[in-house]
Each structure stands twice: as C-alpha cells, then as structure tokens.
Amino acid sequence: MGSVIRFQFTKGPEVRYLSHLDLVRTMERAGRRAHLPIAFSQGFTARPLMSFSFPLPVGVLSEAEYGDFAFAADLGPREFVEEYNRHLPRGLKVLKAERLPEKTASLQSIVNAASWKIFLPGASAEEIEERWQHLQTVDSLVVNRETKRGTREINIRPFLYDVSHIENTPAGTVIDCLCGLGTETNIRMEELGVLLGFSHLEATITRTGQFNRVGNSCFPPLGNRG
Amino acid sequence: MDKRLLPLLPLVTKPARYTNQEVNAQHKNWAEVDVKVALAFPDIYDVGMAHLGFKILYALVNGRQDALAERVYAPWLDMQALMEERKIPLTALESGKELVSFDLVGFTLQHELSYTNILKMLDLAGIPRRSTERNGVQPLIMAGGPSAFNVEPLVDFLDFVVLGEGEEVIHEIIDLVKKGKAAGASRDELLGQLALIDGVYVPKFYKPVYDGEGRFSGLEPLRQDIPGEVKKRVVRDFNSLPYPEEFVVPYVEVIHDRVMAEILRGCTRGCRFCQAGMIYRPVREREPGVLKEQIARLVESTGYEAISLSSLSSGDYGQIGSLVRDLIEQYQPCGISVSLPSLRLDSFGVELAQEIQKARRTGLTFAPEAGTQRLRDVINKNVSDQDLMDVVKSAFAAGWSRIKLYFMIGLPTETEEDLQGIVDLAHQVLAWGREHRTSRRRPEVSISVASFVPKPHTPFQWMAQDSMETLRSKQNFLKERLRHPGIQFNYPRVEESFLEAVFARGDRRLAAVLERAADLGCQFDSWTDCFRFDLWLEAFRAEGIDPKDYANRARDWYEPLPWEHLSCGIDADFLRREWELAQRGATTPDCRWDICSRCGVCPDLRVANALVGRESDG
C-alpha cells in the first residue's frame, strides 16, 4: 500500500533564486535520483503526486517549506528523509517528515499564515519600533497591487498580524513578524516593506514558519496540528 | 560563482542563471591542476546549457587529473549593464574566477549571428579582442564548432581554431599546453606547436592575398612546417568513445533540458543546401546496447524526466524502431518520456511518432523544404509527393490535428511555380485534414518558411542569395495566398538571413565590420528584439564594405574561396558534380543504403560509414 508523507524543508542561500517552478522541478528530479517510489496521477499525462504549500518569493530564504508526496509503495518517514537528503542539492534539506493520516487536508487549504525574519543592514531598530507603534493605531493602509489582471487597491494592514521582536545587532536590525499567507490574506515582501518602512531589495528575508492560524493560535502543518 | 555578483542578483531577471551550484557541476581544486579551460558559449545560459558538445568536453576535461573545465555564458543585458557599471569582469560559473586566469578559453561557433557575442564576452572579460593585442598573461582563445569551417571573418579575434570532432584533439591540446607551460614556452612558441596538431588551424600563420580588384585570391602559409590545408578531426570508433556519465542539471528552465543520447553522428542524405550534412560525415551509429547503458547512467545521475535521441536525423538510425520501443517500455512506467528531435517524412516516421506520443497528439513537424517535386529533386530532398500525402493523411488519421511544415524560399532554380507549390500544399494538407482527421480539434497547418542561405562546403556554396527585396516579395506572395483560417504562416526576417549569408561566406576583411558593429552595440543578433540591422548597415558603410558582394554575388566556378584551406574531407569536384546534377534535377542516393556518391570523405580521412544494421521494418 502507498502512503503520503508530509515534510518540512529549508531553502538556503545556494538555491534562494529558484522560482517556485524551478524548485518543483528540482525536487522532482532529486526524488527520481533517490528512487523514491513517488505515485503518479492517472491518465495520459501522468504527473507525480507532489504538492507544496504557497510559493516562496524568489530571493527569500526559508527554514519552513512544506511538501506532501504520495508514494506508490510504503515508505517510512525516516527512510524518506535519509534517502531524499542524500540526493537534494545543497541548500535544500528535509528537516522532518511524518506519515499523514488518510484524508488530511492539503497544505494549501490549511496554511494561512507565515512568520518571517527580516534582516536589515542599514536600518535602526528605533525607527522600525516607532513605525510598528504607529501601525498598531491604524487599521488601514492601502497600496496599489499590480496583478496580471491589472492594478487594484488593497488594504494590507490587516495582513500584518504581529511584530514580535525588533532588535539592533552590530550588523543591522532584525525583525520577527507574523503575516497572512495564501490567496486571501497574502502580503508581498515589498508591501511588508511599505508597512514597516524598509526596502525589500536590501533586506535578507527568511520564512521561519508556516501555520494554520485559528484565532490567535498558530499550528504548524507538521507535528502539533491542533 | 563570483561573490561580487551577489548584490546584483535581486536586480536581474532569472538570477539563478548566474548562481551555479547545480547538481553535477564540477568544482575542482585550482591549485592541483595544470591546465584550466573555460568553455565559453556565446549566448545566455538558457541557450548554452543545451549544447551537447560542451557537455562532452566538460566531462572529458574534468575527467583528467591535470585539467579542469568551467562554463561561461553571455550575461543577459540587464546583468551586463550592472557588471559594466560596477566594473565587474566576466567570470566562470564554477569558481567565479575571471577569464584571464584560465589557460584556454574555447568558444563554440554554432551560427553566424552569435559572432558579436564573442566580442562582447571578451570585452566584458577585459581581454583584448584582437589576437595581436594579447600577450603572455592572456589565455589562448580558441574556437570550434560547425561555423569553424569558415572561420575567416573571426580569425583576427582567435588564437587558434579546431576543425571537426573534439574528443581526441582536446587531449592533445591540453597535453601540449601543459608541457609548454612547464617549459616556459612563449605564446608564439605554443601556437607554433599547436599548428602542427592535426585539425588545428592557427590563422596568424597564414596570409590572405587579394587581387587587383580586391577579390580574395588565396591564402599563403607563412611557415614551411604548417599544412596548406587543415583537415578536420574525425573519430573512427564511435562506440568506444567516452560519453558523459553526468550532465549538469540546471535549476532554471533551459532549452533541451533532458537526457540527450547521441545515437548517431553525421548524415549522408546529401541535401544540397545543408552544411551539417556535409561537414559531419561519415555516418557513425552507436550500438543500441551502448546507448542504453549511457542513457541509464544519465537518468540515474540527473533524475531527468525526459530522454531525447539526438542526431542530425534520428529517424535514420538503423534500429530506431526497436530502440524507441525498448526505451519506452523501460522508462514510461517511471514517468520518463522518450522523444526524437526530427521525424522522417515517410509512413515509418508516423508509426514511430505513434509509439512516442500515445497521448496529446497535437502537433507533428515535417520538413519537405520545397513546394514542388522538381525543386525537391534539385535540392536532393528525396521525398515524393506520394510520401507527403501518405504521411499527412496517416498523421491526421492517427489523431494529430496540427501539421507543421518547414520550407525554404530563394533556393537555386526556384520559380513562381515552386512558391505556388507551397501554397497548394498548405491548402491540400488542410483538406486532407478535414477528410481524415479523427481528433475533435479542427485541423491546422503551420507553414514556416526560411530564406535560403548559401553555405560553404555545400553544392550551393557558389550560389547568390536572393536579394532582400526578392525574398521579401516572395514572402509577400506566400503571405497573401496563405491568409486562410486554419493556416498559420511564419517567416524569419530577411535581414537576419542576409547577414547570415554575408558571414557564412565571409573573409578576413569582415573582422573590421564585426568589430565596428560590436562597438555600435550589436549583440544577441539572433534574438529578434536585439537585432539592429540599421547598426549593421552603419558598420558596413563605415568600413567601406558592400555586404551584397558577399551575400548576393554568385562565385565563379574556379574562384578561390576563403574557406578552401579548411577541409571537412569533401572533394570540391563532388560539390561541382552535385551542382550540375541539381541543375538537371537529378538526385543522388544516400550512400548508407546505395552506391557511394564519391564525396571524398572516406578516402581522404581514412574513415567509413559505421552502421548498426537495419531492422526489417526500417
């Protein structure tokens, strides 16, 4: 019998400029090199049954990317992590994996929030702090978002849930924050920059977590799913 | 990669082109090797990563203990601008080292419209363009590939050129450079020794002579010990030749991103316009067992989801049917597809396509090249009207809905009737489609029409290219008559074909034009959006050279040609004979399956066709 494995992986500096499509292709090829018994969809254009959570912006690092792979044969999580890691290129590393119970909701249907760590070489913590204090007093900040279907106005303030930490280090300022993720509550990195007053092109950004946020509680897709 | 590029990456398109670290990329220790080779592709990463020749050389050089090979591609315009602004020179992908730190920088010459990119890459690398301006600290700049068979327009920028197949000669070159470096040989001493290697051409040891009217009248060797004619290298035992066990697996999407198996080399069909069909002779097919092993190793090391059986004409491989069936049986269950780059225009071609494309039968592509039987006989494209009809009908009947046909205009002896032939065929194919289709999709015909470019070492090498005006009016003739629902008509711009014709048969005087064009900003000439014909015309004017004299002038029968000292083994008398047969519409059979056409290659290079034997259904 087959199984579905959900796993968490990193996207390190070596592969930070891969687009989502590049990443999927790379993960697929590594799976084939590792001889993972990945199951295929039915029909003439068989596709490997692999799915991922929401795309990471190009250039952004991550400690918490997630994927679900369906296997045609039974494969234990520990065996999967070992075999797969041996064949993934540098920068992509599986941290943990779990067999999913049947009928678990897909990643994209449960993930709705992400935490980010933003490193700013030039900025000062005081300015960011001040900015965050101000933001907490407003409930609307409208920006123009360019999409394939044209430009539309969008209030991004509600999608920044929390800034949990702002710190000055000798090299620059570090910010930890929690934002919306997914089709409805998504916020782009340049928009986050508008909110908190930084240039996303100068920042080093890392996705540190992805969650199913219910009320004020956050549950990661692996482990304690709530 | 070069760390200096890191801050630029967020500012450019497809930054992963420049980041390296791909699976199977080779990072050798610079301190431990003697000879460092940069394989420089004169176009962007996305195009260059498809080049099989460089994959072969990369594996061969890196397979040596004493040498390393790294890859270099032209940065795209956005990256170039940033590099120039911040004074960051062009570097190799693997080590990030500047090109000047290599011993050899080898460019591949795939087509004429890539020449300005070579100059641009030298500029970006901070290497003087002209061979005479380079000194001991600069790497030796070499070149090879199909366009090396008339490399004259480029020779001022190159130190040496390799003709023919590189698998053996690359080792001889590296050995020589290694020994020369150890002995402290000067640049000139090294070049003097390189000129004695079979297949190596050192242009500076030859002097062109022009007659009173300024026409090229020959090339004189300046040294007694070098050959008057440089003969191409050719590998005799194709089966025992090493083939890469790994391909570098790119992250970004590149063209031909798959396992490529080279199933055969060379083609003897003898299409009279085709340079590849002349310069890569003889035909050597790889044993199916050898191929299957090579493919298995590559699938294992790359994880690719597709396998392509590459060659000039893969449908001609003696055991293509059983090979394709075996591969599909083995790989289809693992989700790995098998494909052929080109299909034979006969019923067997469609049968094979049926094996390969079990699903999604949308488009099939064929190349009749000319619209009438008469003209197809002139160009020795041995395809009959009957073949065409059978193929198209059976393709529609098997479920395909779109047929793509490749043609050429401006071929020697072409008349309006031949153009009308293309039009009639397009409409005919559509009618056959309506009659025989089994797909629910409406039948479609796509007609692609290239302009003929006379190429050196072909029976048409003496012919004039039609003027741009004539070609344009022929395109218009077709455009008016192919305006019909269900018919798509595509044609490249005549200016590009014209420039290609100029440089294909150019001589050393074109170096000045090339340099001027590069100064004016010409590069990526094969990218339609980058092609600046106005700047090219300005460059020709500034150098006082009439490009029409190169493209549109028929050469005299016994006029000295600038590429005659660069031999692919083909006898000039064979080419003349073929031209005479062409004028009579007489065809020449393929020597693989019929009598020898006496092209001269086998006796001259002491080689022979090596075939795997044919299946009964071939």
- Please tell me the distance from the alpha carbon of residue A46 to that of residue B529, in angstroms, as a whole number: 37
DSSP state of B66: T
pLDDT score for B618: 42
Taking the CA of residue B22 and the nearest CA in chain A, the distance in Å comes to 7
My answer on whether B206 and B57 are in the same domain is yes
Is residue A123 predicted with pLDDT exceeding 80? no
* H/E segment holding residue B37: strand B35-41
Instruction: Mark yes or no for CB contact A89/B22 under 8 Å.
Output: yes
Contact in structure between A222 and A98 (CB atoms under 8 Å) = yes
Instruction: Mark yes or no for CB contact A22/B16 under 8 Å.
Output: yes
In a domain, B419, yes or no: no
3-class SS shares of chain B: helix, strand, coil, % to 5: 40, 15, 45
* Confidence label for B240 from pLDDT (cuts 50, 70 and 90): very high
In a domain, B327, yes or no: yes
Q: Could you give the number of structural domains in chain B?
A: 2
Q: What is the domain-level CATH number for residue B614?
A: 3.30.750.210
pLDDT score for B92: 98
More confident residue, B332 or B452: B452
Q: Which of B251, B300, B358 shows the shortest C-beta gap to A26?
A: B251
My answer on whether B212 and B274 are in the same domain is no
What is the mean predicted confidence (pLDDT) over B168-189?
96
pLDDT score for B614: 86
What is the mean predicted confidence (pLDDT) over B257-286?
97
My answer on whether B266 and B144 are in the same domain is no
Q: Which of B231, B248, B267 is the last residue of a domain?
A: B231
Q: Which of B196, B231, B266 is the last residue of a domain?
A: B231
- Please tell me the distance from the alpha carbon of residue A187 to that of residue B605, in angstroms, as a whole number: 67
Q: Which residues of A touch B251 (CB under 8 A)?
A: 15, 17-18, 22, 25-26
Instruction: Mark yes or no for CB contact B251/A22 under 8 Å.
Output: yes
Q: What is the pLDDT of residues B438-476, one digit of tens each?
A: 988 999 999 999 999 999 999 999 999 999 999 999 999
Q: Which of B10, B302, B360 shows the shortest C-beta gap to A29?
A: B302
pLDDT score for B468: 98
Q: What is the share, in percent, of chain B residues with pLDDT greater than 90?
A: 89
Contact in structure between B205 and B279 (CB atoms under 8 Å) = no
Q: Does A15 touch chain B (CB under 8 A)?
A: yes
B399: phi > 0 → left, psi -120 to 50 → alpha, else beta; which? left
Boundaries of domain holding B315: 258-342+568-618
My answer on whether B180 and B299 are in the same domain is no
My answer on whether B266 and B207 are in the same domain is no
In a domain, B176, yes or no: yes
Q: What is the 3-state secondary structure (H, E, C) of B199-264?
A: CEECHHHEEEEECCCCCEEEEEECCCCCCCCEECECCCCCCCCCCCCCCCECCCCCCCCCEEEECE
* Confidence label for A224 from pLDDT (cuts 50, 70 and 90): low
My answer on whether B56 and B150 are in the same domain is yes
pLDDT score for B355: 83
Position B301, amino acid: S
Contact in structure between B118 and B154 (CB atoms under 8 Å) = yes
Q: Which residues of A touch B19 (CB under 8 A)?
A: 14, 17
> Average pLDDT, whole number, for chain A?
92
Instruction: Mark yes or no for CB contact A17/B9 under 8 Å.
Output: yes
More confident residue, A185 or B166: B166
Phi and psi at residue A95, in whole multiples of 5°? -95, -45
Instruction: Tell me the count of A-B CB pairs closer than 8 A.
Output: 67
Q: Is the dihedral of CA B145, B146, B148, B154 positive or negative?
A: negative
Is residue B297 predicted with pLDDT exceeding 70? yes
My answer on whether B136 and B75 are in the same domain is yes
DSSP state of B481: H
**Lowest mean pLDDT across A44-48, B302-306, B351-355, B603-607:** A44-48
Contact in structure between B151 and B131 (CB atoms under 8 Å) = no
In a domain, B528, yes or no: no
Q: Does A19 touch chain B (CB under 8 A)?
A: yes
Q: Which of B215, B231, B247 is the last residue of a domain?
A: B231
Taking the CA of residue B101 and the nearest CA in chain A, the distance in Å comes to 25
Q: What is the share, in percent, of chain A residues with pLDDT greater than 90?
A: 79
- Please tell me the distance from the alpha carbon of residue B209 to that of residue B147, in angstroms, as a whole number: 22
In a domain, B305, yes or no: yes
More confident residue, B403 or B214: B403
pLDDT score for B360: 66
Instruction: Mark yes or no for CB contact B21/A22 under 8 Å.
Output: no
Q: Which of B253, B302, B359 shows the shortest C-beta gap to A44?
A: B359
- Please tell me the distance from the alpha carbon of residue B618 to that of residue B615, in angstroms, as a whole number: 5
Q: How far is CA B583 from CA B367, B377, B417, B586, in A?
A: 22, 9, 16, 8
**Lowest mean pLDDT across A35-44, B69-78, B606-615:** A35-44
Question: Which tokens is B568 given?
Answer: 């692919």
My answer on whether B306 and B221 are in the same domain is no
Residue position matching structure tokens 């007694």: B224
Collapse the DSSP code of A73 into the 3-class scheme (helix H, G, I; strand E, B; otherwise coil) and give the result.
Answer: coil
My answer on whether B203 and B320 are in the same domain is no
What is the mean predicted confidence (pLDDT) over A150-160?
93
In a domain, B391, yes or no: no
Q: Which residues of A touch B49 (CB under 8 A)?
A: none
How far out from the chain centre does Cα A163 lie?
17
Taking the CA of residue A41 and the nearest CA in chain B, the distance in Å comes to 10
How far out from the chain centre does Cα B207 lie?
28
Is residue A46 predicted with pLDDT exceeding 80? no
Q: Does A87 touch chain B (CB under 8 A)?
A: yes
My answer on whether B115 and B196 are in the same domain is yes
What is the mean predicted confidence (pLDDT) over B328-337?
90
Q: Which of B11, B252, B360 shows the shortest C-beta gap to A44?
A: B360
In a domain, B8, yes or no: yes
**Residue B594 burial (C-beta neighbours within 10 Å; 0-12, 13-18, 19+):** exposed
Cβ atoms within 10 Å of A77's Cβ, excluding its own: 17
* CA nearest neighbour of B115 among B497, B389, B374, B499: B499
My answer on whether B283 and B323 are in the same domain is yes
* Confidence label for A1 from pLDDT (cuts 50, 70 and 90): low
Instruction: Mark yes or no for CB contact B303/A32 under 8 Å.
Output: yes
Highest mean pLDDT among A101-105, B224-228, B503-507, B554-558: B503-507
Q: What is the pLDDT of residues B570-618, one digit of tens each?
A: 999 999 999 999 999 999 999 999 999 999 999 999 999 999 988 864 4
Q: Does A169 touch chain B (CB under 8 A)?
A: no
**Residue B3 burial (C-beta neighbours within 10 Å; 0-12, 13-18, 19+):** exposed
Q: Is the dihedral of CA A77, A81, A82, A84 positive or negative?
A: positive
- B interface test, pick of A15, A33, A92, A204 with most B CB neighbours within 10 Å: A33
Q: Which of A19, A28, A201 shows the shortest C-beta gap to B305?
A: A28
Domains by residue range for chain A, with CATH: 3-108 (3.30.70.580), 111-219 (3.30.70)
What is the mean predicted confidence (pLDDT) over B219-225?
94
pLDDT score for B554: 97
pLDDT score for B359: 64
Position B383, amino acid: V
Taking the CA of residue A14 and the nearest CA in chain B, the distance in Å comes to 7
Is residue B358 predicted with pLDDT exceeding 80? no
Q: Which residues of A touch B335 (CB under 8 A)?
A: 40, 46, 48
Instruction: Mark yes or no for CB contact B303/A31 under 8 Å.
Output: yes
Q: What is the pLDDT of residues B533-582, one digit of tens each?
A: 999 999 999 999 999 999 999 999 889 999 999 999 999 999 999 999 99
Is residue A43 predicted with pLDDT exceeding 80? no
Q: What is the domain-level CATH number for residue B88?
A: 3.40.50.2300
- Please tell me the distance from the alpha carbon of residue B317 to that of residue B330, in angstroms, as a whole number: 19
In a domain, B490, yes or no: no
My answer on whether B37 and B142 are in the same domain is yes
Instruction: Mark yes or no for CB contact A44/B302 under 8 Å.
Output: no
Q: What is the pLDDT of residues B5-22, one digit of tens each?
A: 999 999 999 999 999 899
Is residue B175 predicted with pLDDT exceeding 80? yes
> Average pLDDT, whole number, for chain B?
95
